Amino acid sequence: MFHSHEKSTGTQYTLTVTLLALAFVFSPALLVLSNRFGYVSVSLAVACSTLCVALAWLNWSKYSRLTIPSIEAPQPNSK
C-alpha cells in the first residue's frame, strides 16, 4: 500500500473535498436550521457556496496537473 520511502505525487485534494462539503452540505444545512428564509440569509448561503465551489475548483485545477515519472516508460538512449 503506502511505503514510507516512496515520494508523494503531490496530490492535495483534502481541501477540495472540504470546500465542496462546506458548499453543498453545511451551508444549506445551516440555512435550513436557522429558520430564517429571508433574502439576507439566502444570499449569504448562496455567496458562501459559490465562493467555496470557486475555491475548490481553483485548488483542483492547481493540483490535478501532475506528472508521475515512475509510470512513464524509460526512453532508450540512442547513441
pLDDT, one tens digit per residue, over 15-61 is 888 888 999 998 888 888 877 677 888 888 889 999 999 999 998 88
What residue segments make up the domains of the chain, in order of their start? 14-63
**Those residues with Cβ within 8 angstroms of residue 19's Cβ, 6 or more apart along the chain or in another chain:** 52, 53, 55, 56, 59
Per-residue pLDDT at 31:
81
Over residues 57-67, the mean pLDDT reads 76
Per-residue pLDDT at 7:
52
CA dihedral 29, 34, 37, 40 (to 10 degrees): -100
**Pairwise pLDDT comparison (70 vs 15), residue with the higher score:** 15
